[in-house]
Amino acid sequence: MLYRENGQFKTSYAADQQIFPILQDRWAIGLLLLVAFVAMPLLGSEYFFRAILIPFLILALAALGLNILVGYCGQISLGTGAFMAVGAYAAYNFMVRIDGMPLIVAMLLGGLAATVIGVLFGIPSLRIKGLYLAVATLAAQFFTDWAFLRIGWFTNHSTSGSVSVANLNVFGIPIESPVSKYLFCLVVVCVFALMAKNLTRSAIGRQWMAIRDMDVAAAVIGIRPVYAKLTAFAVSSFIVGVAGVLWAFVYLGAWEPAAFSIDRSFQLLFMVIIGGLGSISGAFLGAAFMVLLPVVLDQLPHWLGIPISTATVSHLVHMIFGALIVFFLIVEPHGLAKLWSVGKQKMRLWPFPH
Amino acid sequence: MKFKPLALAATLATLGAASFATPAVAQEQYIPLLSYRTGAYAPNGIPWANGKQDYLKYVNANGGVNGVRIAYEECETGYATDKGVECYERLKGRGASSFDPQSTGITFALTDKAPIDKIPLITLGYGLAASQDGGVFKWNFPLMGSYWTAADILIQHLGEKEGGLDKLKGKKIALVYHDSPFGKEPIPLLQKRAEMHGFQLNLLPVTAPGVEQKATWLQVRRDRPDYVLLWGWGVMNSTALKEAVATGFPREKMYGVWWAGAEPDVKDVGANAKGYNALALNPNGTGYPLIQDILKKVHDAGQGSGPRDEVGSVLYTRGMLISMLTVEAIRRAQEQYGQGKVVTPEQVRWGFENLDIDDKRLEELGLAGVVRPIKTSCDDHMGSSWARVHQWDGGKWVMGETWYEGDKSVIDPLVKEAADRYAAEKRIQRRSADDCKA
């Protein structure tokens, strides 16, 4: 009744091709952006920004990047943490070694460095597929772990191997307070989400999907697998690299290679799978699930005033979280994004199902 | 893409619940406790966390600090930096007196945040060695020792064993270290000492968490070092000892840092670890008045945080000392800013900077002979760097006789240099003399 596009006629190509063809969706997304940009900065507490929203946004961005590779192009990667690390350390080096390097330029250069490494480690994808590729990308993970731990130059010969950044600013506006950090991340995430959405709707995006669905058939109809696969690796690693820069600079402030360990790669892969392969919204849903749920579960006993020891809570969180992952995958193997779109279909018919 | 309002509504609801349920801390001094009771480092994290909690319970059982009761809350970090940062953000808003992050990685991440939030960080025997310099690190307190004093003391001890530091010339010393900021911290000091005395320093990193050390010990077997310094934490220590047994490296020639010298590190290896040495910031055992009092007032009252037989173990005692120093800082702040009042984190910081725990006070605390007097100042946030070496006899740790102190002439220039470098990087000014007095 409320959610129905009856009477919304498309009278131009532009109207037909827009990202949100349904009026109600446009209203919803507008409202959402309004909440995110205006209401949240006014209402949110410091803890909410620093511990929930900022990590959520950054990991959503990384998941978005990974989703392009895994969800759209069908190339499984376990090197996400590595590409994040490359972005973070490259941007750090640009900041440290070049005086007066602006944050945004350093961030984009970090993304570019990740792109180069991503394409390099993407080359095996031309010959190997599926799980074998996952193992090959694992090499990226171990290689970067090793490089950033052992090669002193990358960490500016920091004695402890931990590096940090300070005095971040964009166009003279300091990125210090939680709100400014949040808004900075939000803007970056919005820009990249829009870019990614449009890329996936363009010719290149369709090439990725063709490769994903059947690479031999795609090659037969004239899609070059080399080009399609490597561009997917490039775009994906760029976004992941930028997410790495944000994670290190904005969220952590000081970091060591352990911040981008193999666990991070797995976490992001799970986000993409749970959120929904091959959908932009899936990245956000997956990140929300993986970031918010443990935090909420962790604090639930405290809010309810149930005295449980922290160790028990921590074990319970792991168990409930694991059970929920299994539950969601059984109920909807295509992820939360699919669940959402099923919900939307039902909404269209409501209240008069067949 | 309409999922977000839902997610936001849900999180907003939880936020509302969070602000609603925040405990009232009107007349209570709030101490947040970061800990890890799960994960790879849990065997070491649990006694540490229990020691911290038991002492606070003990203070409350005695009526608090001049009548001010202590409220505390634990947050599980799992030794992960991002989780630690989340815990810090969660607990700091509740009037946190100070944080003991229990992890070098988390300390690094919080070192930049603490000055903004104005909350002191205490890193007893760990953390950033350069933060001893209170002129630059106003909010960090590496009380009782840092990795540099630890490394320095170990070299002094080896020198003494050999019959003089000059006898170390030509010796080979291998550092088997946890490949993380924790393990890398001592390297600059050891390199300086190697230059001074002419011994050869071999660096052998072990990838965290340290369950796989075959390659490292192969290297040890090939190099045949005269001594192995073990800079490990958690499962890495017992694995290293097992590998030492397998490669036949004498345990008597192995020296651990004080984080590699507790019961969980050697228990699994048992008699095979006999002869292994480690630094001791604090003794173990229950043979002094404070521990007896805690057993009586906390454990006998059914309030113990952990099993009774864990009381007095090395890491339990260290946790207890951390809480003791925190409470002493609060007491000191109360002396300055009003007895029997709840003090702010800034005032607690002042308390940490002006700690003066002399022999008389240690006697009152029931800690005579357990630790040496601690006196902090604006320039020296460490307060004391005394430690001993203890040895595992196959069943228990046996304390050595000699007390060692970090050699200031070696450490201070390094601290100054590192602190200045940090200040330049972060563009912070050294504190003025007025700020120091304030």
- pLDDT for A1 beyond 80: no
In chain A, residues with a C-beta closer than 8 Å to the C-beta of B78 are 314
**What is the signed CA dihedral for A337, A340, A341, A342, rounded to 10 degrees?**
120
pLDDT at A209: 95
Q: Give the pLDDT mean for B169-185.
A: 92
Q: What is the pLDDT of residue A354?
A: 62
* Residue numbers in B near A47 (CB within 8 A): 18, 89-90, 93
**C-beta of residue B396 within 8 angstroms of C-beta of residue B141:** no
Q: Is residue B437 scored above 80 in pLDDT?
A: no
What is the pLDDT confidence band of residue A150, given thresholds at 50, 70 and 90?
confident
Question: What are the E-state strand segments in B198-337?
Answer: 200-206, 227-231, 254-256, 277-280
pLDDT confidence of residue B13 = 47
Q: List the single residue in B75, B111, B180 with the smallest CB-CB distance to A310.
A: B75
Mean pLDDT value across chain B: 89
In the predicted structure, residue A61 carries a pLDDT above the cut 90 = yes
Contact list, A284 vs chain B (CB under 8 Å): 3-4, 7
B212 contact A CB<8A: no
Distance separating alpha carbons of residues B231 and A350, to the nearest angstrom = 65
Going from the C-alpha of B211 to that of each of A318, B72, B78, B240, the distances in angstroms are 22, 34, 17, 8
Max avg pLDDT among A238-242, B333-337, B366-370: A238-242
**Residue B199 confidence (pLDDT):** 94
Phi then psi for B159, rounded to 5 degrees?
Answer: -60, -45
**B386 part of contact set with chain A, CB < 8 Å:** no
- Closest Cα partner for B396 from B273, B282, B225, B217? B273
Is A285 touching B (CB cutoff 8 A)? yes
Name every chain A residue with its beta carbon within 8 A of the beta carbon of B75. Answer: 310
Interface of A with B in 52-81 (CB under 8 A): 52, 55
H or E element at residue B293: helix B289-294
Residue B360's contacts (CB-CB under 8 Å, 6 or more residues apart) are none
CA B404, distance to chain mean position in Å, is: 18
pTM of the complete model: 0.86
- When pLDDT is cut at 50, 70 and 90, the band that residue B261 belongs to is very high
pLDDT at A259: 87
> Which pLDDT value is given to residue B23?
45
A201 touches chain B (CB under 8 A): no
Query: Which pair of structure tokens corresponds to residue B47?
Result: 């006694």
Q: Which residues on chain A are in Cβ contact (under 8 Å) with B128? A: 160
What percentage of chain B exceeds 70 in pLDDT?
94
Question: pLDDT at position B228, please?
Answer: 96
Q: Which residues of B touch A20 (CB under 8 A)?
A: 1
Question: In the A/B pair of chains, how many CB contacts fall below 8 A?
Answer: 154
The C-alpha of A340 sits at a distance from chain B's nearest C-alpha, in angstroms, of 7
Which helix (DSSP H) or strand (DSSP E) does residue B122 occupy? Answer: strand B121-122
> Are B29 and B330 in contact, with CB atoms under 8 Å apart?
yes
Encode pLDDT of A169-197 as tens digits: 888 888 888 999 999 999 999 999 999 99
Can you give the pLDDT at residue B248? 92
**Which of A233-242, B25-34, B302-311, B365-374 reaches the highest mean pLDDT?**
A233-242
**Domains assigned to chain A:** 40-349 (1.10.3470)
Scanning every residue of chain B, which has its alpha carbon at the shortest distance from the alpha carbon of A45? B15
Contact by Cβ (8 Å): B92, B98 = no
More confident residue, B249 or B26: B249
Cβ A47–B90 below 8 Å, yes or no?
yes
Chain mean pLDDT for chain A: 90
Ramachandran region, residue A170 (left: φ > 0; alpha: ψ -120 to 50; beta: rest): beta
First-to-last C-alpha distance (Å) of chain A: 14
A220 touches chain B (CB under 8 A): no
> How would residue B22 be classed by pLDDT, with cut points 50, 70 and 90?
very low
Out of A72-76, A197-201, B112-116, B344-348, least confident range: B112-116
Q: Residue B234 pLDDT more than 50?
A: yes
Residue B17 touches partner A, C-beta closer than 8 Å = yes
Is beta strand A163-164 parallel, antiparallel or unpaired with respect to A254-255? Answer: antiparallel
Mean predicted confidence (pLDDT) in B388-413: 92
Specify the DSSP class assigned to residue B133. B
- Candidates B130, B73, B140, B72; CA nearest to B106 is B140
Which domains does chain B show, CATH number per domain?
A: 27-145+285-375+417-437 (3.40.50.2300), 147-280+389-406 (3.40.50.2300)
B113 touching A, CB under 8 A?
A: yes
The share of chain B scoring above pLDDT 90, in percent, equals 69
Instruction: State the nearest Cα–Cα gap between B336 and chain A, in angstroms.
Output: 31
pLDDT above 90 for A90: yes
Q: What is the mean pLDDT of residues B261-278?
A: 91
Residues of A in contact with B310 (CB under 8 A): none
Residue type for position A65: G
Asked if A299 lies within 8 A of B2 by C-beta distance, the reply is: no
pLDDT band at B35 (very low <50, low <70, confident <90, very high): very high
CA atoms within 13 Å, Cβ hemisphere of B294:
34
The answer on pLDDT for B26 being more than 70 is no
Indicate if the pLDDT at residue B17 is higher than 70: no
Lowest mean pLDDT segment, chosen from A101-110, B10-19, B354-363 = B10-19
Q: For residue B339, give how far its alpha carbon lies from the nearest alpha carbon of chain A (Å).
A: 31
- Rounded mean pLDDT of A279-304? 88
Determine the average pLDDT of the residues in B387-393. 94
A44 vs B: CB within 8 A: yes
State both tokens at B233. Answer: 């934490």
CB A286 within 8 A of CB A276: yes
Q: What would the 3-class secondary structure string for B200-214 be?
A: EEEEEEECCCCCCCH
Buried b (16+ CB within 10 A) or exposed e, A276-306: bbbbbbbbbbbbbbbbbebbbbbbbbbeeee
Q: With an 8 Å Cβ cutoff, are A252 and B179 in contact?
A: no
Q: What is the pLDDT of residue B168?
A: 93
pLDDT of the residue at B12:
46
Query: What is the pLDDT, as a whole number, of residue A344?
Result: 85
Which pLDDT value is given to residue A7?
A: 80
Partner B contacted by A315 (CB < 8 A): yes
Q: Which residue has the higher pLDDT, A346 or B416?
A: B416
> Considering CB atoms only, which of A164, A281, A302 is closest to B21?
A302
Distance from CA of B42 to the nearest CA of A (A): 10
Cα-to-chain-centroid distance, residue A141: 17
Tell me the chain B residues in contact with residue A149 when contact means C-beta distances shorter than 8 Å. 179, 205, 207
Question: Contact at 8 Å (CB) between A36 and A186?
Answer: yes
Q: What is the 3-state secondary structure (H, E, C) of chain A?
A: CCCCCCCCCCCCHHHHHCCCCCHHHHHHHHHHHHHHHHHHHHHCCHHHHHHHHHHHHHHHHHHHHHHHHHHHCCCCCCCHHHHHHHHHHHHHHHHHHCCCCCHHHHHHHHHHHHHHHHHHHHHHHHCCCHHHHHHHHHHHHHHHHHHHHHCHHHHCCCCCCCEECCCCEECCEECCCHHHHHHHHHHHHHHHHHHHHHHHHCHHHHHHHHHHHCHHHHHHCCCCHHHHHHHHHHHHHHHHHHHHHHHHHHHHCEECHHHHCHHHHHHHHHHHHHHCCCCHHHHHHHHHHHHHHHHHHHHHHHHHCCCCCHHHHHHHHHHHHHHHHHHHHHHCCCCHHHHHHHHHHHHHHCCCCC
User: Taking CB atoms and an 8 Å cutoff, what residues of chain B touch A176?
Assistant: 116
Rounded Cα distance, B330 and A70, in Å: 54
Q: Alpha-carbon Rg of chain B, whole angstroms?
A: 22
**Across-strand partners of B405?**
B386
A254 → closest Cβ in B1, B46, B109: B109
- Structure tokens belonging to residue A7: 């009477």
Q: What is the DSSP code string of B346-407?
A: HHHHHHHHT-EE-HHHHHHHT-TTTS--EE--SSBSS---EEEEEEE-SSSEEE-S--EE--
Q: Which helix (H) or strand (E) holds B172?
A: strand B172-178
